[in-house]
């Protein structure tokens, strides 16, 4: 549906409420100023996709131009074959050359309230010094460097310094436990770890270095641990292994030549949950990834030189990689970076920040929006949010109620909302409105971006014109994952085995009569908790790791705030009591093993679990029980009695 097709009458009401079909038309004023204000971009991409992507790759600075746009040996893609470039050069040097060195890159705010303003010059200096420091310690092109940090500027320096010398960064979210960090370091065989003494979150200090120490004990590949002084808390520095960041960079030289990287050289590995428990190391390379994030930053966020952008994600997730670091910085964007939580010291912290820095574009997650809804409108109302002109959402489907609330109470009824669908694997946004062009429907991510061929399929692989099915991608795109680190078989099996030649992201979707996509969430055993993928297996293995647990089955249940919450069915070993103390102990145990984000909301003690004859746990039934629904088909169940007992038991507890 295009703007032109919406009748004049509808346009005048702007936000037309038509039962199932609420639409929001971009205002003429927004459209006129937008970078992309004309839908011809879709046709241009469809006409010759490779030429189209080549044009957008050309917006980057290349040391050597590519010979060929795409080499596609299903399921292995190479983009911009033969091209040479450097990501840190594209995010820094080229801006300095254009005289943008004094432009603010980051307005940083720590949770306790201290602030820093960093220009592109400042970041350039910090990155060059750190790059030299790392080189001096023996880090070379291709080495993996793990980064376990709070939301401070040094985290960005670390990523860009790695990119500068051709080292592969693997950022591990600072909320992950020692075990999770260890597992990722081991899988990536990282040689180096960059961390901080601690960080601030909800008024408390996270003991990052202490956690890192526990992880590193069992990681023989780690040669050095570099520690940023953030909180000043006491930490143990192991002689010979641990070094202070400030001491290293103080001594380092000011300029480090950026390594000319092949377009297909690895830029980073980022771990995401998988059904078999072991996290998957998603591999992204340099040229295609940068092309994808840089192009979508312009199309979707419409960022111009004077904008103040704020993406509230943690740098530890792909959203932070693509839309804090590489996308915005490739365009010399000015952005806000905030270390802490939205309710510290009060529930208006985000809105205070928007007001203070006059944020114009704000990108957050539905789970946060639902939390703000619960806290009440008095918090945003107390702040001046009139600087905002565009809002974004990512991480899970945004329910129409939350969309409308976000639009009214944060976007003062004026800001378009871009609901952006993508994944760690896709590298950049694939399904999203282009705000100056697309007519919005609350709850729909609208349409595939130019150059992206998404479809909805039946189980058998037939294209669904209208109705529900599985989301799939018909052709490769520049920022797509290049594989799972060290495991090509798993890569093929996970993403490319469902239908011939099609990428399967694992999401269900519905397509409506206007060709709009409505994402329906995961179809497998991955839960989506507060916008993050957590596998049921990971939580199950954390539970059975506790000495009192014999067996467990975990399901994601609908949660108003987080999208999904975790419910765990647990069979205790002989001699252990299923009381409230056990409940607390096990919840705490999971949080310690994986991180607070995986803490189960409910534990349901049971004597048996419903299994199929082949011994597979029937999660669907557990979900029905945990959500209090009528049970679905039970014919494949080995022992139907189990489920009756469980149901009664659960109802007692609920």
Residues contributing to the site for ligand WT7 (CB under 6 A)? 272, 317-319, 394-397, 419-424, 445, 505-507, 519, 521-522, 528, 531-533
Q: Which is nearer to ligand WT7, 271 or 605 (CB)?
A: 271
Shortest Cβ distance from residue 479 to ligand WT7 (Å)? Answer: 12
Q: What are phi and psi of 247, to 5 degrees?
A: -70, -40
Report, in angstroms and rounded to the nearest whole number, the Rg of the chain calculated over CA atoms: 24
How large is the greatest C-alpha to C-alpha distance in the chain, in angstroms?
Answer: 74
b/e sequence 244-265, b meaning 16+ C-beta within 10 Å: ebeebbeebeeebebbebbbbb
Shortest Cβ distance from residue 417 to ligand WT7 (Å)? Answer: 11
C-alpha span between 368 and 243 (Å, rounded): 37
3-state helix, strand, coil in the chain (%, to 5): 35, 25, 40
């879709």: which residue's tokens? Answer: 42
3-state secondary structure 29-51: HHHHHCCCCCCHHHHHHHHCHHH
Shortest Cβ distance from residue 441 to ligand WT7 (Å)? Answer: 13
C-alpha span between 367 and 395 (Å, rounded): 8
Q: What are phi and psi of 50, to 5 degrees?
A: -65, -40
**Helices 178-188 and 208-216 meet at what angle, rounded to 10?**
50
Q: Which is nearer to ligand WT7, 110 or 506 (CB)?
A: 506
Q: How far is CA 478 from the centre of its chain?
A: 18
Shortest Cβ distance from residue 480 to ligand WT7 (Å)? Answer: 13
Q: Which is nearer to ligand WT7, 208 or 318 (CB)?
A: 318
Structure tokens given for 233: 């808390």
Query: Any alpha helices (H) in 459-606, and if so which ranges?
Result: 488-496, 536-544, 580-594
C-alpha span between 368 and 561 (Å, rounded): 8
Shortest Cβ distance from residue 454 to ligand WT7 (Å)? Answer: 12
Shortest Cβ distance from residue 477 to ligand WT7 (Å)? Answer: 14
Q: Which is nearer to ligand WT7, 483 or 505 (CB)?
A: 505
Shortest Cβ distance from residue 397 to ligand WT7 (Å)? Answer: 4
Shortest Cβ distance from residue 168 to ligand WT7 (Å)? Answer: 19
Phi-psi sector, 451: left (phi>0), alpha (psi -120 to 50), beta: left
Q: Which is nearer to ligand WT7, 192 or 516 (CB)?
A: 516
**Helices 580-594 and 536-544 meet at what angle, rounded to 10?**
120
Q: Which is nearer to ligand WT7, 327 or 397 (CB)?
A: 397
C-alpha span between 318 and 310 (Å, rounded): 15
Shortest Cβ distance from residue 394 to ligand WT7 (Å)? Answer: 5
Q: Which is nearer to ligand WT7, 248 or 318 (CB)?
A: 318
Residue from 478, 470, 434 nearest 452 by CA: 478
Rounded to 5°, the CA angle 206-209-213 comes to: 130
Shortest Cβ distance from residue 399 to ligand WT7 (Å)? Answer: 10
Q: Which is nearer to ligand WT7, 473 or 625 (CB)?
A: 473
Q: Which is nearer to ligand WT7, 319 or 334 (CB)?
A: 319
Q: Which is nearer to ligand WT7, 86 or 272 (CB)?
A: 272
């Amino acid at each position: 549906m295009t703007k032109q097709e919406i009748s004049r009458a509808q346009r005048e009401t702007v936000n037309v409420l038509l039962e199932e079909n609420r639409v929001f038309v971009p205002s003429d004023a927004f459209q006129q100023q937008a970078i992309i204000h004309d839908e011809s971009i879709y046709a241009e991409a469809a006409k010759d996709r490779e030429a189209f992507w080549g044009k957008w790759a050309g917006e980057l600075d290349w040391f050597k131009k590519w010979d060929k746009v795409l080499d596609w040996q299903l399921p292995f893609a190479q983009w911009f074959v033969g091209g040479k470039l450097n990501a840190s050069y594209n995010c820094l040097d080229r801006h300095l050359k254009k005289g943008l060195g004094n432009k603010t890159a980051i307005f940083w705010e720590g949770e306790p309230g201290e602030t820093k303003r960093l220009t592109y010059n400042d970041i350039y200096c910090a990155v060059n010094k750190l790059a030299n420091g790392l080189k001096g310690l023996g880090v070379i092109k291709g080495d993996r460097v793990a980064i376990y940090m709070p939301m401070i500027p040094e985290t960005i320096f670390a990523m860009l310094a790695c990119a500068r010398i051709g080292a592969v960064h693997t950022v591990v979210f600072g909320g992950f436990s020692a075990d999770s960090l260890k597992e990722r370091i081991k899988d990536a065989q990282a040689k180096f770890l960059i961390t901080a003494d601690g960080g601030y979150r909800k008024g408390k200090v996270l003991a990052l270095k202490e956690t890192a120490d526990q992880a590193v004990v069992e990681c023989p590949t780690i040669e050095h641990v570099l520690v940023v002084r953030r909180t000043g808390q006491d930490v143990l520095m192991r002689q010979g292994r641990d070094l202070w960041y400030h001491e290293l960079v103080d001594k380092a030289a000011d300029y480090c030549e950026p390594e000319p990287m092949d377009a297909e050289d690895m830029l980073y590995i980022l771990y995401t949950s998988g059904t078999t428990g072991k996290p998957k190391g998603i591999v992204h390379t340099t040229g295609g990834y940068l092309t994808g994030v840089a192009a979508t930053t312009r199309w979707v966020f419409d960022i111009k030189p004077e904008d103040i952008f704020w993406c509230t994600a943690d740098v530890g997730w792909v959203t932070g990689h693509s839309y804090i670091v590489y996308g915005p910085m490739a365009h010399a964007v000015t952005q806000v970076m905030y270390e802490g939580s939205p309710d510290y010291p009060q529930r208006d912290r985000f809105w205070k920040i928007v007001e203070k820095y006059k944020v114009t574009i704000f990108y957050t997650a539905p789970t946060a929006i639902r939390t703000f809804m619960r806290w009440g409108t008095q918090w945003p109302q107390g702040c001046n949010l009139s600087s905002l002109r565009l809002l974004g959402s990512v991480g899970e489907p945004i329910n129409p109620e939350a969309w409308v609330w976000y639009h009214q109470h944060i976007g003062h009824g004026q800001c378009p909302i871009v609901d952006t669908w993508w994944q760690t694997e896709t590298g950049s946004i694939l399904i999203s409105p282009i705000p100056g062009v697309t007519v919005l429907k609350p709850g729909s991510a609208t349409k595939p971006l130019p150059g992206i061929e998404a479809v909805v399929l039946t189980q058998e692989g037939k294209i669904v014109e209208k109705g529900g099915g599985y989301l799939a991608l018909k052709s490769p795109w520049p920022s797509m994952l290049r594989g799972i680190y060290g495991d090509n078989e798993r890569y093929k099996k996970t993403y490319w085995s469902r239908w011939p030649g099609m990428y399967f992201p694992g999401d269900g979707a519905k397509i409506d009569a206007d060709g709009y996509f409505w994402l329906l969430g995961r179809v497998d055993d991955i839960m989506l908790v507060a916008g993050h993928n957590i596998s049921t297996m990971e939580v199950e293995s954390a539970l059975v790791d506790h000495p009192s647990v014999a067996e467990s089955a975990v399901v994601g249940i609908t949660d108003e705030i987080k999208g999904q919450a975790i419910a765990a069915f647990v069979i205790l070993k002989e001699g252990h009591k299923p009381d409230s103390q056990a409940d607390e102990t096990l919840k705490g145990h999971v949080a310690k093993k994986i991180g607070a984000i995986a803490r189960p909301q409910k534990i349901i003690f049971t004597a048996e679990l419903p299994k199929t004859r082949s011994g597979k746990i029937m999660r669907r039934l557990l979900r029905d029980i945990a959500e209090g629904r009528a049970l679905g088909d039970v014919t494949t169940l080995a022992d139907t009695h189990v489920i009756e007992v469980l149901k009664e038991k659960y109802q007692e507890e609920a």
